[in-house]
Amino acid sequence: MTVNVFDTPQDAAKSLAAEVAALIRSRSAENKQVVLGLATGATPLPFYAELIRLHKEEGLSFANVVSFNLDEYCGLPHEHKESYWYFMHQNLFNHIDIKPENVNLPSGMLTDADIPAHCAAYEQKIKDCGGIDLQILGIGRTGHIGFNEPGSDDTTITRQVHLDDLTITDAAPAFGGKENVPATAITMGVATIMGARKVALMAWGDKKASIVQKAVEGPVTIDVAASYLQKHPNASFYLDSAAAADLKK
């Protein structure tokens, strides 16, 4: 895979957003849709800010974009400030011209009995839309992409998962304590992500340096879901210099 190192997250986000804008515009010129896989968390914020700027200042339209988010916490309604539905609307969708009917996120408000059918329908909808053109990713300190925690192999598809204790610890401040963090989530699987035609993973800061090194240079292993991206034909990492600091090459 390709590793791109930038001085700052803003520089990296700008470069990736320019690529996305070029893809959206070239598809639009052909009257075609583009299917984006989207991610939440602190990492993609400068990327979404740049997409919003491109929309407001440079006329980039998202009218031909269909989006599928990676994951959603179980048990959180749309209006919960930590739900990914809320995050995506607050940080991107409310500020661009994407059509509401083209926005897809796993539902956080299903009974356990309804989750398997919902997950199967999510996978099917991705296929019906022609597959994901570009999947945006962050990486958790467990090596997760989406919520594919250690133990998620490359045959996994959209399903309900238990969150790793480290992931819950990292989310705790936002929820006002570990006890308030949902124990489970719905996430695309590693196979779903690997099915995207292109994958772009962003990571910033020294806290991500060690897991980025494992994902890029370590063995491909079920213990680090992001390591499977080494086998993806078109995966790029976008790093700031702090997140790239442990890379040997």
Residue nearer to ligand PGA on the CB measure, 64 or 148: 148
Residue nearer to ligand PGA on the CB measure, 66 or 137: 137
Give least dist CB 138 to ligand PGA, A: 3
For residues 98 and 199, give the distance between their C-alpha atoms in angstroms, rounded to a whole number.
21
For residues 7 and 148, give the distance between their C-alpha atoms in angstroms, rounded to a whole number.
29
Give least dist CB 46 to ligand PGA, A: 11
Can you name the residues that pair with 68 across neighbouring β-strands?
Answer: 37, 104
Give least dist CB 43 to ligand PGA, A: 3
Phi, psi of 64 (to 5 degrees): -100, 15
For residues 80 and 157, give the distance between their C-alpha atoms in angstroms, rounded to a whole number.
26
Residue nearest to ligand PGA (CB): 41
Can you name the residues that pair with 185 across neighbouring β-strands?
Answer: 73, 161
Can you name the residues that pair with 221 across neighbouring β-strands?
Answer: 224
Residue numbers of the site for ligand PGA (CB under 6 A)? 41-43, 138-140
Residue nearer to ligand PGA on the CB measure, 41 or 218: 41
**Which residue reads 């989207």 in tokens?**
38
Phi, psi of 77 (to 5 degrees): -75, 165
Reduced to 3 states (helix: H, G, I; strand: E, B; else coil), residue 44 is coil
Structural contact between residues 13 and 202, judged by C-beta atoms closer than 8 angstroms: yes
Residue nearer to ligand PGA on the CB measure, 42 or 220: 42
> How long, in residues, is the chain?
249
Give least dist CB 205 to ligand PGA, A: 8
Give least dist CB 182 to ligand PGA, A: 14
Residue nearer to ligand PGA on the CB measure, 25 or 162: 162
